[in-house]
Amino acid sequence: MALQGSLADIALPDVIQLVSVSGKTGVFTLSSEGSDGKIFLRDGQITDASAGRLRGEYAVYEMATWRRGQFIFTANVESDQVTISKSNTSLMMEAARRMDEWRVLQRKIPSMEMVPFFLPREPGHDQITLSPQEWTIVTKIDGQTSIKKLEELTALSAFDVCKVLYGLVTSGLIGLRSPEEKSVPAQAAPAGPSLRTLVALTDNIRKVADECVGLTGSLAVEKQYRQARTELESGRGMDAVQGLVDRLARAISLLEGGDKAGEFLRRVTPLIQA
């Protein structure tokens, strides 16, 4: 008989611990509020997991935060991939830490259906410095898009999206409303940079990328730059700039390796935040 139950009655880490001790091989199939995932075990050790776009240990961490839904364990089913090498103990310790942090996040973010919106700021406020991950999320906030949708648009986990939003809410940069509340007027959002400013920014980003890859990668840089210019002229604003940075980072990683891509991101981040 398959082991099954409700995540509201017993947390996933506790169930996994039970199966792990018994040394079973099989798969947990989970469903929670429209999301689905799988965790594979071989001889009691977690070997693979998936949840939406997430794969490996981060999929485990994501599912460990699910407080509602159902799970079922089917024995003698194995994955054909091994994406997790950490021990179950290490995975569950990190999952427990995230669950504790998730409870803190929920004090300000009670639902993934909440809609973030920019709060008006008085002149004279200190300049805001955002990380690349924060920029990725901020550029998608329009006063209409839910947190759940932001998760899909940014390809980040729900935990990472909510952690960033928690900081933005705490800093007074954004507010949250329920879907039933009246939409915040568009003028409440801060005006974006001018086209001229954005073009100059993309020029500087291209220059940094060229310095990172040299002549061998100049064609790849030029291709991404041209795409960004087209997107800017079509009105995509900072989305086009962030997209350029993301694409160039991936291209540089392929051409020169992860260290060089990291150098590129460190150099362009101050340009974006200026």
The number of folded domains in the chain is: 3
Where residue 260 falls among pLDDT bands split at 50, 70, 90?
confident
pLDDT mean across residues, the chain = 84
Tell me the three state secondary structure of residue 107. coil
Domain with 171 in it: 115-188
Q: Is residue 110 part of a domain?
A: no
* Segment 160-207, tens digit of pLDDT: 899 999 988 887 888 898 887 765 554 444 456 778 888 888 999 999
- Same domain? For 209 and 256 the reply is yes
Where residue 265 falls among pLDDT bands split at 50, 70, 90?
confident
Residue 219 has pLDDT above 50, yes or no: yes
Angle among Cα 105, 249, 228 to the nearest 5 degrees reads 100
* Segment 110-167, tens digit of pLDDT: 888 899 998 876 555 555 667 778 888 888 888 889 998 998 888 888 888 999 999 8
User: For the chain, what percent of residues have pLDDT higher than 90?
Assistant: 24
Alpha carbon separation from 29 to 35, 37, 59, 194 (Å, rounded): 11, 6, 12, 49
Q: Is residue 92 part of a domain?
A: yes
201 phi and psi, to 5 degrees? -65, -45
Last residue of a domain, one of 161, 188, 215: 188
* Segment 71-91, tens digit of pLDDT: 999 999 999 999 999 999 899
Number of other CB atoms surrounding residue 243 within 10 Å: 17
- Same domain? For 99 and 119 the reply is no
